[in-house]
A and B are shown apart, each in its own frame.
Chain A
Amino acid sequence: MQPKPIIIRGGHVIDPINKVDCEVMDIGVRDGKIVDPSEIEESKAMIIDAKGKLVMPGGVDPHTHIAGPKFNFGRIMSPQDHRRAWIKATPTRRCGTGLVVPSTAYIGYKYAQMGWTTAIEPATVPLKSRHTHEELDDIPILDKACYPLLGTNRLVMEFISKGDIESLKCYIAWVLKETKGYAVKIVNPGVAEPTWWNRYVGLDLDEQLPEFNITPRDIVRGLCKAVIELKLPHPIHVHCNRLGFPGNYVTTLKTMDCVSDLATGDKPIMHITHVQFTGYAGTGWANLSSGGEAIAKYLNAHNHVTLDLGQVIFGESLTMTADAPFEYVLYHIMMGKWFGGMAESEATTGIVPYLYKKSNYVNTVQWSIGLEVALLTKDPWKIVFATDNPNAGRFTKYPLGLSWLVSKKAREEIMAKLNRRGLKHTALPAVDREYTLYDVAIVTRAGPAKILGMPEKGHLGVGADADIAIYDLNPVEVDVSKDYKAFIRAFKRALYTIKSGVIVVKDGEVVEPNLYGSTYYVDATKALDPDAYKSTVNYVKEAFPKLYSVSFENYVIGEHELRKPLKVEVAK
């Protein structure tokens, strides 16, 4: 049954893509899309009275670990996490457990309760993508996608060492199409490779890799070039070399700069992810300081890079990344649980539990880096607010994290409890800037949707997907910079969340748990020269038995295997 059309009446609408800043207006919803409210017959529509409420597009999270073999090993490793939070199954709702690594249904419900409607799993080994998709299929409500890991792939390194960008393009298009991926993910390029991951720990951008006679710089540049030429909706999504090492902000700057010459116009060609983890200055843990200012400075001077924060939220976390070398180092610091994984010819994995303490010097510096970058970068369109869930903090803490952006008071209150010496090594205490709600809408919805290249997401213009969040917050009456607690309260539990035109959350409770969103994937094969594509696929097919222990035919994931695939075709 088609849901009734909806008119959201009289809300304070913030819609940065359409340059709507807190205007009182009506929004019409029909057949899962935004329509002109005058087109809807009022008597047949459902009217939501949003007077004095805040209306925004549904939240978009471009980097959140929510599914796949790595995340699920995190669940398997953490039975204790599932004992302390749970919801019961009902005739319509699924059961759920977990705080840091929640079960699939719980993830969908919790995101929706906060008003987020799109979330993307940022690292999946192509060989195990089928697992990721099975899990994504079981996450209700959200639209989702996943990024295949290509920065340590043997074939990618081979094509780059030969300088064969044409074949690389074809190979990328093939992987995205056949494993149903959305963008190219690069993790610790060249270093987090399944055979030498624990031997070249901390290798820098310009150091030689043991095989293929290339450096990480070549990999980043090669993939960047290929993705630009392929015109993929999302640029390369880069997790830099030397993540987690003191002094690594230099590597981050070099990584950003290494593709600056490839940029044309103002279109970003690189997305640096969880920049907090790669924004450390200093020569060791003892004198760690923030490199956030330098990164923000670079961002202010250049338009080819966007980034997400990886903002630290104090408390328990489970670090999980395809950067096995880093987790190997972290394991030797923590000496607790450690999961390490190697996937043939493609990538690696690591999982180590971690605890961010307010009293800790390093953790305090880490906390301030994310905020520094966000507040010192002038243009919020270059910034995405995310915590690299669950690495730096779990996604359910986004309202708390955002409160530090909108309110200096909130920052000062928490800084009073933080490590004194740590704060001296950052510029944050001197920063006065506060985000407006318009900025918040940019860094949580409009910006990420634009960076992801999803034109139907992140805004409320006619024709957009009807993914809407209504918060119980009157932006005219409440000054969030003073009353940041009202902001947190409102964002924690959305008054309404509408997904594809269906009311899924009302008063912070999930009312439609049985809606399942689409899985986006990119098909760029049509944009390629058919002969070149065919010959690359043949080359891959021939190399396959050497590189893999599964056959070429069984590697490929059919569209029928996904619950609701949504193909994004890239035009020539």
Chain B
Amino acid sequence: MPRLEVALVTGRTIKQGSQIESERYTKEYADAAAICFMNPDDMAELGVKEGSNVKVTTEVGSVVLQVKAYKGNPRGLAFIPLGPWANALISVRTRSTGMPFFKDSKAFIEPTEEPVPTPEEVVSKNAGKKLLKVPVDYLMSPGDFKGEGIFESHICPICGCLCDDLVVEVKSGVISSIKNACARSLAKFKSYAAERVKTPLVRVGDELKPVSYDEAIKRAAEILVNAKYPLLFGWSETSNEATRLGIRLAELVGGVIDNLSTFCHGPSVMGIQQFGIVTSTLGNIRDNADLMVFWGCNPPSSHPRHFVRYSALAKGLKIKGRGERRIIVVDVRETEAARVADMFVKVKPGMDYDLLTAVHMVVKGLELESDEVAGVPRDVIVKMADMMMSAKFGVLFYGLGLTATSARNRNIEAAIRLVQALNDWTTFSLNPMRGHFNVAGNNHAFAWLTGYPYAVDLSRGYPRYNPGVTSTIDLLARGEVDAALVVASDPGAHFPAQALRHLANIPLIVVDPKWSLVAGLSDVYIPTKMLGIDAEGVSYRMDNVVLRVKRALESDGLMDDVEVLEKMIKYVEEVKARAA
């Protein structure tokens, strides 16, 4: 049987990103995420056609996926969208950074006749526990919401762009139209009632039993108080008010509290700790930047309106549009973003650090001795450096292509140093493309309450922080935590299999507006209102501009995250007082 060795990269696609905003227990989700994108020549070599199945195997496991051709991939590189399928292949090793191998692992691909597993199958297998679907009786329907009116300047809480110009029209409790929305936003606002649950549920064996909010929160409090070393994870898709309460809860129960930046921009934070950063708000970039570098990020898939509102195509005060800007895209594959670029630089997977250093050398006036670095010819590197130095105002946007590849935080340090050096020539900004809408706010709230931006261990009563030791993936991989609270996040969709396995098999509480993939593994599930739909709260944009997300609908009988956490804190205090 033919077998092909490839470098494996996982990442966001627009279809996958949209689908997780609507429904996850569906065939559509599998169609969006159970895909392996390959170079057509690789496919020919392997003897597979578009749409046929392949089995992808790494050191940690294998999974069957549908193959799709993507010309932008170089030979020997396979791309799989984020999701439980990709997670089956990802190693939990983090090189002491908290960031698992989402990019840059080695994989083998072979043709197969086996079917692509459904979301339930793949999550159950990853978790080593049966994923339960919620019975229809407990689900909400669009009719359960109330409200009327047109909401202008509505904020879209999905990605770090936090666009605040949506116009949402509500007619008798139903969102009837949304203007200025991207595909992901549209999916979210259209399916605001999909997979939303009416009542708290507890799992007894493989059955789900409805309980009251009081009962569920009490149980959750007991689990947390009785645990020796609980994990409180999530927070990046809820309000900062809830996050701040979460930290109080962690103080009381003596656990580890961590947010999603642990495996998105945690390495960025580590870079900032080492060297600082020079950065700018997006409006300033839109108005002034005549050079934009997108490095290891693909806004059209991950932040669909980024180009139009803030960057490549945006109309600014001084720079009026695409015509007055130059754009460089650096990536391992020719992404959608590369299509708008003046210059596309294809870097070898895992060698961004080398390339950043080479550019920095040119900026410093040093001679490059080798003909090419990281697969990029010398003259291209020199040209890149020239473009950066001669810009009036430049910006380097980067994404998980830098934070998750082999050098991780060292990549970020190299980028920070490069941008700091460029400020001797011109004005230059470095901007991380934060993924979730409030992950930046999480870092801030964590920092001001505990001193550390993520992975904060409060088991001794005072905050400690050590990525690789107190970060979620490492804690789960080593099996150290003995109970978990997951708030507004879906580890079922985004944790590497081995980490999910431990999470699913300890007492697990999930607080989430939707019946997410992790909810189907939980012992106690507490539904809440959803930010931007029927709940309000403060959120931080990727450039740390703070907005307060408003709601468009009203829902009866549901509590929001803040209320749930306040109550949980109260019960924890009661349980502890009784024990004392």
Contacts and interface: CB of A to CB of B under 8 A. Distances in A.
Interface of A: 67, 69, 72-73, 75-79, 81-82, 86-91, 94-98, 101-105, 127-128, 130-131, 134-135, 138, 194-199, 328, 331, 337-345, 351-352, 546-554, 557-558, 561
B544 A91 contact: no
A89 B458 contact: yes
A352 B283 CA distance: 25
Contacts of B545: 127-128, 343, 549-550
A497 B512 CA distance: 43
- Give the most central of B244, B545, B548: most A CB within 10 Å: B545
A338 B538 contact: no
B276 A345 contact: no
A97 B152 contact: no
Given A97-B462, A338-B275, A554-B164, A81 B427 contact: no
Interface string B309-331: 11000000110000000000000
Nearest to B165: A551
B251 A550 contact: no
Given A345-B283, A352-B276, 8 more contacts: A75-B448, A95-B458, A97-B450, A128-B545, A338-B276, A338-B278, A343-B545, A549-B281
A94 to B, nearest CB: 7
A89 B276 contact: no
B548 A554 contact: yes
A557 B548 CA distance: 8
A127 B451 CA distance: 24
Interface in B279-316: 279-284, 286-288, 309-310
Contact of B449 (A101, A103, A198, A552): A103
B269 interface: yes
B544 A131 contact: yes
Contacts of B288: 195
16 contacts: A76-B443, A79-B452, A82-B450, A95-B449, A97-B451, A101-B451, A104-B449, A127-B281, A194-B280, A340-B276, A341-B279, A342-B284, A344-B282, A344-B284, A344-B287, A352-B276
B277 interface: yes
A87 B462 contact: yes
B213 interface: no
B279 A135 contact: no
Contacts of B287: 195, 344-345
A517 B153 CA distance: 33
Contacts of B429: 342
A95 B462 contact: yes
Contacts of A128: 544-546
Contacts of B444: 69, 72, 76, 131
- Give the most central of A78, A89, A352: most B CB within 10 Å: A89
Interface string B451-475: 1110000101111010000000000
B573 interface: yes
B547 A550 contact: yes
A86 B269 CA distance: 21
Contacts of B465: 79, 82
Contacts of B544: 69, 128, 131
B96 to A, nearest CB: 14
Contacts, number: 186
A75 B275 contact: no
Interface string B390-431: 000100000000000000000000000000100100010100
Given A82-B451, A103-B448, A194-B280, A551 B153 contact: yes
Contacts of A67: 448
A131 B546 contact: yes
B445 A134 contact: yes
A138 B244 contact: yes
A91 B573 contact: yes
A551 B164 contact: yes
Nearest to A555: B547
- Listed from nearest, the 10 A-B pairs whose CB atoms lie closest are A344-B283, A82-B451, A549-B283, A88-B461, A97-B451, A89-B251, A340-B278, A342-B280, A130-B546, A86-B462
B272 to A, nearest CB: 6
A128 B273 CA distance: 22
B420 A95 contact: no
Given A351-B276, A549-B545, A553-B153, A95 B461 contact: yes
B4 interface: no
Nearest to B546: A130
B524 to A, nearest CB: 24
Nearest to A557: B548
B101 interface: no
Nearest to A324: B278
B91 interface: no
Nearest to B155: A554
A344 B278 contact: no
A451 to B, nearest CB: 28
Given A195-B427, A344-B287, A561 B538 contact: yes
Contacts of A196: 427
A553 B451 contact: no
A77 B272 contact: yes
Interface string B553-580: 0000000000000000000010011000
B279 A337 contact: no
Nearest to B277: A339
Contacts of A197: 427
B125 interface: no
Contacts of A135: 448
A101 B153 CA distance: 36
A106 B440 CA distance: 23
Nearest to B539: A130
A337 B463 contact: no
B522 interface: no
B252 interface: yes
Contacts of B282: 344, 549
B548 A561 contact: yes
A557 to B, nearest CB: 8
Contacts of A79: 273, 451-452, 465
Contacts of A134: 240, 244, 445, 538, 546
Contacts of A76: 269, 272-273, 443-444, 447, 453
A337 B275 contact: yes
Given A67-B448, A135-B448, A340-B278, A94 B272 contact: no
B153 A554 contact: yes
Contacts of A87: 462
B129 interface: no
A88 B152 CA distance: 45
A318 to B, nearest CB: 11
B152 A553 contact: yes
B436 to A, nearest CB: 17
B318 to A, nearest CB: 8
A499 B451 CA distance: 26
B525 interface: no
Contact of B252 (A72, A91, A96): A91
B445 to A, nearest CB: 7
Contacts of B577: 91
Given A81-B451, A95-B458, A104-B449, A343 B284 contact: yes
Nearest to A87: B462
Given A105-B449, A138-B244, A337 B164 contact: no
B286 A342 contact: no
- Give the most central of B274, B310, B420, B429: most A CB within 10 Å: B420
A159 B543 CA distance: 28
A548 B288 CA distance: 12
A345 B278 CA distance: 17
- Give the most central of B279, B393, B451: most A CB within 10 Å: B451
B192 interface: no
Contacts of A73: 272
